[in-house]
Amino acid sequence: MPHRHTTFSKFIIEDQRRRGGADTDLTALLNDVQTACKFIASAAARGSLTPSAGQPATAHFAAPAPEPGVNVHGETQKPLDLIANEIMLRTCEYGGKLCGMASEEMEEPYRIPREYPRGRYLLAFDPLDGSSNVDVNLTVGTIFSILKAPDGVEEPEVEHFLQPGTQQVAAGFALYGPADMIIATFGEGVHGFTLDREIGAYTLTHPDMRIPDHVCEFAINSSNARFWEPPVRQYVEECIKGSSGPREADFNMRWIASLVAEVYRILIRGGVFLYPRDARPTHKPGRLRLLYEANPIAMLVEQAGGAASTGRQRILDIKPMALHQRVPVILGSKAEVERLVAYHAAYDRGEELAFSAPLFGSRSLFLPSETAALG
């Protein structure tokens, strides 16, 4: 098919022409991002062959791997987390299209070195999403979000990154798995590109991706069920009851613990992904980071015809308050997300969501002790 001969770079140029004019700075930046993703894919593919701290990351990228530690979120870093972070910084800093970057692995924004020219864009990214899966050889990836810097800003501070997701110019993620891919949106539609290793280029293989409206599949970490809010409990219990329950359909449950893999499956097969607010103090704000996880993924999902919400608010409408702000995330097929939003609204109005729930060992979702814990 003709689109199989369209590379990532060519697609960007043609997309901009269709939309009224080329943005050469954005094209160059996106090409830097795709180059970084190739380097990271190469490092990820080496698995346990990835060099230890102080050694070159890959045969093609000479940056040393920093010593792992604990990141700003209190999470133990994998060596590949830091290798991926260094690759993204080094690959994107010198092109003159950025004035700053923000990463999951850095507490403060990254300042472009003085020897490089400044550009008008900001890049926020998670260098290696799903890195807990590295040791078991499951799919991981890189998530990125591109924003415009405010006029006149050359040395951005934290507040300059704190833009709602609706202000994103482009967003996407790379997958490092059986096939390496980039899934991206530039504001109109979602398109998938697969790395053709014979020519060394990401090529268009999945044009105009659309999330199916109704699919009987959901993804959630059920080990946290005792901490969920009642609306999430109701939804999951109805799915588990299957064809004998109120949904009158059998559902499959999935959980990969890699956001990029979960979202790619939803783009291909539909369904819903939930990482909801729960009763634990560290989880009440949510677990996924707004700026460089939830926002870019929400943009992709909405552009593919789906929906993305906290359960109470559209994710893209949230005004960020901090660089590493966390939010609850419910995303996927529009009808399923809307059902969950309706359950949250009913719960917040005080309407009882009572039913027999053997999974949770309760007759009603509104047990006094639970309601107090979730307040």
Please state the residue numbers annotated as binding site. Answer: 104, 126, 128-132, 221, 293
Annotated binding site for Mg(2+): 104, 126, 128-129, 293
Per-residue confidence (pLDDT) for residue 360, from 0 to 100 = 47
pLDDT at 82 over 70: yes
**Tens digit of each residue's pLDDT (9 = 90 or more) over 159-197:** 999 999 999 999 999 999 999 999 999 999 999 999 999
Directed axis angle between helix 24-45 and helix 8-18, to 10°? 150
Q: Which CB contacts under 8 angstroms, 24+ apart, belong to 155-159?
A: 155/99, 155/100, 155/111, 156/99, 156/100, 156/109, 156/122, 157/109, 158/108, 158/109, 158/322, 158/323
pLDDT bucket at 362, cuts 50 / 70 / 90: very low
pTM, entire model: 0.89
Residue-wise pLDDT for 227-249, tens only, equals 999 999 999 999 999 999 999 99
Are 323 and 161 in contact by the 8 Å Cβ rule? The answer is yes
User: CA 74, 76, 78, 79 torsion: positive or negative?
Assistant: positive
Cα–Cα dist 144/83, whole Å: 16
What are the structure tokens assigned to 299, written together?
């943009």
What is the pLDDT, as a whole number, of residue 4? 61
Domains defined for the chain, CATH in brackets: 2-206 (3.30.540.10), 217-373 (3.40.190.80)
Cα pseudo-dihedral 128, 134, 139, 143, rounded to 10: -10
Residue 3 has pLDDT above 90, yes or no: no
Tell me: pLDDT of 203 over 80. Answer: yes
Q: Which two tokens stand for residue 136?
A: 């078991």
CA distance 33 to 187: 17
Q: Which residue numbers belong to the known binding site for substrate?
A: 129-132, 221
pLDDT confidence tier of residue 64, bands split at 50, 70 and 90: low
Question: Which residues are CB-contacts of 291 (< 8 A; sequence separation ≥ 6)?
Answer: 102, 124, 145, 161, 162, 320, 323, 324, 325
